[in-house]
A and B are shown apart, each in its own frame.
Chain A
Amino acid sequence: MRAEAGANGSRGRAGRAAAVLGLALLGALAPIACHGGGGRGHGVVTRITCGGATAPGTDRVEFACAANSVSPIAVRVVIGPTTSVDVYGIKFDVVFDPAVLAFDPPAIEGSFLDRDGNPTVLEAAIESGDPGRLVVAVTRQGAVGGVGASGAPITVVTLPFAAVAAGTTSLAFENGAAVDSGLAPVSIQFGTQVSITFQ
């Protein structure tokens, strides 16, 4: 499994379709064995409401809620137009109440950083010792330049969450940062929290 993460990360666009298919199959099996998927099979009511999301402005990253859904819910992280055209990597934590919500891997990369076909790497996992903190990073790979965004919001990454128990929790960014191809900070703001309610 570990090797596949690296191998996938080094692929270009040509090999991606097959890789995604294979990884998707692996990912479908993952919750059975991992910590994800806590809402399944526990008898909880899984109707989900997500609220409070706002469209990202310039140089801002925001949550984008899916319409009312059932567990698991796909929470997108989107970015608005960027002043910089050299965004190389983005990292952030997503903080939530683990009594209500559980990260349901795998995370799915959006189209922002790999839009030119350059290989990228996505990592997302719960911080050790803190089940309510998801540590996320997505970055381009190799000695290449970064990218920028313009116009409509673009998805950076999609994070599936599953219900654990009925209730409401917020999803909030912490420790958000972006870097350029020289690994210097890029001025990107991480936006407001959203509210997730399971009924």
Chain B
Amino acid sequence: MKLSGVGLGGASCALAAAAVLGAAGASGSAGVARPILRARFSPVAPAPVMARLAPGRPSFFGKALRRGPVGAWQRAGTLARMVSTTGVPVTTTAGDVFLADGSETAVAVNPFNGRNLATIYNQGYLNSSSMKTSADGNLTWTTRVFPNGTGTFSGYAYDPWAVPGDGNGVLFTTLIRTDSVLNSTEARVVVARSTDGGASWPRWFTAVRSGMHDRQMFDVDRTAALGGGSGSVHDGKVFLCYDVFDAGGSYIGSFFQPVSSAGGALGEVQLSDTTQAGFHGFEFQPVAGVADGQVYLMANAVSVDGATAYVIIHEMTGGGSSFLADKAIWSYVPAGQHLGSTTRFGLNGHRIGSPSMDIDRSTGRRRGTLYVIADENPNPADPTLDQGDVVLRRSADGGVSWSLATLPGLAPGKTQFFSMIDVDDNGWIHVAYYQNESGGTNGGVLNADTADVYYTVSSDGGQTWAPHTRVNDAAGALNYTDPPPDLSAQDYYLIGDYQQIQAGFVSGQRVAYVCWSGYDKNRSNIYLNDKQDRVNCTTVTPPLDGDGDGVFDPADNCPTFYNPAQLDSDGNGVGDACQNFPADANVDDTGSSQGRIDGSDLFVMARSFGACLGDAAFDTRVDLNPDGCVDGTDLALMASVWGLVLP
């Protein structure tokens, strides 16, 4: 037994139609300009595998370490000033939520509870309080203790990273802990896991390879329910990558370390070594794929002079049993200029982070699409002009071929940098970045006195973007010295820094947590000299895209119809898709069905129901929304005007 679709709604049969039609009408009355930011993608030219590709300097260079009199790495604290170990108050404001003095913030969001967050960051010597968790969605934070590594690895920490696990309340964080006995000639990746939403953080894994570990990143093999592949052999495994340098800062290699869901080391794979044949990049970011045990790896490399950066894409399958190297490689000119006499590039006296990658794990049509975001210099030969733009690349074939587009909507003439990306469970792409706003020289394009953090989002795979919105409160703008000191020669520079963005869902509402590194030249140095960074997290609520066509509702000329092309033939502000409805629903206009929406139209829709563009049964006439498939939305649209006699 089945009840009639129209009848089941009772009065809603009329209301539903009114809602559809009303929305169309309402949109048409606007008549105002609707800024729609469209990206123009073009193919990415593959770069030749150059003979001189090389790793850059370790990320710990110039951070918590510095070279001592005999050239060995030493704790910077032996030369730096520790001022205070006082706890940092947590604010509960609705805007920028100040977590702590620190930098390089990473954040993980519990996929089962969007209010459950874990952040981790660099905080000089406060190793016991370099992370916090929130149970209320970035309103209040609680200080947690990151564990020591095994053995003597309880020294100062650096290179934070955070990822959610497969279960409700399972969160992972990592830092690299130095050897407190050997005076910083050894450092180990330590991974902590919480299974109680962040209340406790026992040590889960410590990497054992000898050397100075650096720039570790990891990801978790998702269950099918969380967007991973079918099959569960590898579910819950952690895919960890890290670089190893010797005590003199010379590169040894990069490694892929899978870890069982119980925290046990599985077979390690060396990804890169110091030979040209064996070098496949460094600073590998692993991104768990959409098949069980599949991991994409994005690696970096630089030319010898540092002026050209490379991205190299690899794939690991079987949880680490098979390494498919060099699936793609491309080059770009990094944002900024040489820092002093070094080969590093940067701006505001700071080196700029590497590209960031994520993948669409949604069930939608773009599932499996890879995205890489990077900061690239549009004017490398002229440092008086814009020194950084945010460029997005994407691949729909597993990382083999790529197309790129500069993010539309970037403020012209201004420098954007330190971009970060997150692709959420529905495939929406969230991007945040810093932007130099002003400065005494050339408007601060290279060295600014103020900068802000911005956010934008795309719901259609990067084709269309929401207007870019400043994330930080005006009072929370990054405040640099003007001009900022060129700290590149001092082995220590932290002005503007890594940030991380992660999206989640709170009571069905999509939110994005942008955790960024502020800087205040007027604040006293808290932990280390030259370190005036502060960790902030700001909650951003993106706009809605009710019809899922990629054009956000405020700009959509048919907000209830899937019409990505936004065609508006008569220019009246109402898109053709909804302006022509319900006439479009009168598919069969013959006989008794002439001028009326009834069974003759329904027969055509029913026959094509479930078919999509390219299927033999697909009938474009009954794809009323029109999104390329005849589905429940089309049926609902027809039901909403059932029995309607057209004028």
Contact = CB atoms under 8 A, between A and B. Distances in A.
B604 interface: yes
Nearest to A105: B7
Interface residues of B, number: 48
Interface in A134-165: 135-137, 139-143, 157
A142 B616 CA distance: 11
Given A105-B6, A137-B599, A142-B609, A177 B592 contact: yes
Contact of A2 (B9, B591, B607): B9
Contacts of B596: 127, 135
A130 B595 CA distance: 14
A125 B13 contact: yes
B342 interface: no
Given A143-B607, A177-B599, A5 B1 contact: no
Interface in B1-56: 1-14, 16
Interface stretch (A19-27, A42-50, A52-60, A77-85): A19-27
Contacts of B607: 88, 142-143, 181, 183
B267 interface: no
Contacts of A4: 5, 8
Contacts of B12: 1-2, 30, 33-34
A5 B10 CA distance: 12
B639 A5 contact: yes
A166 interface: no
Contact of B602 (A2, A92, A121, A181): A121
A26 to B, nearest CB: 5
B603 A179 contact: yes
B192 interface: no
B372 interface: no
Interface in B590-642: 591-593, 596, 598-600, 602-611, 616-617, 631-640, 642
Nearest to B19: A2
A23 B8 contact: yes
B644 interface: yes
A74 B638 CA distance: 26
A110 B139 CA distance: 55
A121 B10 contact: no
Which of A32, A110, A123, A124 has most chain B Cβ within 10 Å?
A: A123
A106 B642 CA distance: 14
Given A30-B10, A141-B606, A20 B1 contact: yes
A44 to B, nearest CB: 21
Contacts of A27: 3, 7-8, 10
A34 B11 contact: yes
Nearest to B618: A143
A101 interface: no
B340 interface: no
B479 to A, nearest CB: 50
Contacts of B608: 143
Nearest to B639: A5
B643 interface: yes
Contacts of A51: none
Contacts of B611: 143
Contacts of B182: none
Contacts of B645: 127-130
A114 interface: yes
A67 interface: no
A183 B16 CA distance: 28
A64 B4 CA distance: 19
Contacts of B592: 93, 174-175, 177
A5 B8 contact: yes
Contact of B10 (A20, A33, A114, A141): A33
Contacts of B638: 123
Interface string B562-594: 000000000000000000000000000001110
B598 A91 contact: yes
Given A137-B598, A137-B599, A125 B8 contact: no
A143 B9 CA distance: 27
B606 A89 contact: yes
Nearest to A109: B2
Given A29-B10, A106-B8, A23 B635 contact: no
Interface string B458-475: 000000000000000000
Interface string A4-41: 11111110000010011001101101111111100000
B338 to A, nearest CB: 57
A162 to B, nearest CB: 13
Interface string B214-249: 000000000000000000000000000000000000
Nearest to A181: B607
B6 A125 contact: yes
Contacts of A29: 10
Nearest to A91: B599
A195 to B, nearest CB: 24
Contact of B5 (A5, A24, A93, A174): A5
B4 A106 contact: yes
A120 interface: yes
Contact of A90 (B6, B599, B605, B643): B599
Nearest to A160: B7
Contacts of B634: 6
Contact of A108 (B1, B10, B604): B1
Nearest to A30: B10
B599 A2 contact: no
B2 A20 contact: yes
Contacts of B2: 8, 16, 19-20, 23, 108-109, 114, 120, 122
A196 interface: no
A97 to B, nearest CB: 18
Contact of B635 (A6, A107, A124, A181): A6
A2 B636 contact: yes
Contact of A89 (B7, B11, B602, B639): B602
B635 A9 contact: yes
A103 to B, nearest CB: 8
Nearest to A155: B1
Which of B7, B600, B604 has most chain A Cβ within 10 Å?
A: B7
Given A3-B632, A107-B4, A121-B635, A91 B600 contact: yes
Contacts of A175: 591-593, 598
Given A32-B10, A143-B616, A128 B643 contact: yes
Nearest to A11: B2
Nearest to B9: A1
Contacts of A111: 1
A126 interface: yes
A2 B16 contact: yes
A177 B607 CA distance: 16
A123 B16 contact: no
B625 to A, nearest CB: 11
B614 to A, nearest CB: 14
Contacts of A91: 598-600, 602-603
11 contacts: A2-B12, A5-B5, A32-B11, A33-B10, A34-B10, A88-B606, A107-B7, A108-B1, A125-B13, A125-B643, A127-B645
10 closest A-B pairs by CB: A30-B10, A91-B599, A6-B632, A137-B599, A106-B7, A5-B5, A105-B7, A33-B11, A2-B636, A34-B10
Interface of A: 1-10, 16, 19-20, 23-24, 26-27, 29-36, 88-93, 105-111, 114, 119-130, 133, 135-137, 139-143, 157, 174-175, 177, 179, 181, 183
Given A92-B599, A143-B607, 7 more contacts: A5-B9, A5-B636, A8-B5, A105-B6, A107-B4, A109-B3, A126-B643
